[in-house]
Amino acid sequence: MKNRLALHRVLAGWKAGLLALALLVAGLLSPAKSYAVTSGPGVWDLMIFGNYDLVSPNTGQVYSSAQPSLTWANTMQNGYGAGIGTAYWFNDVIAFRVMAQGNFYQLKSPAPGSMESAPLTGGFEAKLYGGPDYYLYAAVDAGAAYELSLPNNTSPTLSGKGSTNAWSAYGDVGLGVNIDWVFVEVKLAYLPDAIAHASSSQNALWYIPVTAGFNF
């Protein structure tokens, strides 16, 4: 009887030890965002985000040499889109980031058609105030955007069939706020050649992307 009790106690002790070890290993291996910092030396962030693109504030003319009443504000509706990116923090203040996104703009009636823009950029974040997870920052990005003019499309498409296409330079600058794993940015973006193969001399398009997303 004593031998059985002793064996039972030993087995119970082993079970408790193995359970504690399993919990410890699971805690070390499981990703826990609340314990990980968003910024800091050597930190990588994966960003997934959506855009709402304000074209309506731009009352400038679309073309410089024709159709003077045609402005960006009365020609295009505000756009929307989504994207993905990654950022690497060199230190507590500066990060380098690479982003790819796609945006869609529908023309206002009665003109049928739409426009798609896919900026591919590299840029920097500079922390202005705050700690590792909660902070205010400035952002600047530059690169190129693939532009599609879709004469008869009224919804987003991944196909450029039946459209005109071209590349444009792209740049943006703005401010953002990071709240743990959520971030929000408001920027001013600039496209010198938004309309692919425009028949008239085109003025640049500027718009205001309002971005919200998650970083992991």
pLDDT digits (tens, 9 = 90+) for 64-92: 876 667 899 999 999 999 999 999 999 99
CB burial readout 152-163, b (16+ within 10 A) else e: ebeebeeeeeeb
The total of other beta-carbon atoms located within 10 Å of residue 205's CB is 24
Residue 119 banded pLDDT, cuts 50, 70, 90? very high
Judged against a pLDDT cut of 90, whether residue 208 lies above it is answered with: yes
Whether this model's pTM surpasses 0.85: no
**Region of 130 on the Ramachandran plot (φ > 0 left; ψ -120 to 50 alpha; else beta):** left
pLDDT of residue 26: 47
Residues 127/144, Cβ–Cβ less than 8 Å: no
- Structure tokens given for 7: 């064996």
Can you list the positions of beta strands (E) in 29-163?
44-54, 79-89, 94-106, 114-130, 134-150
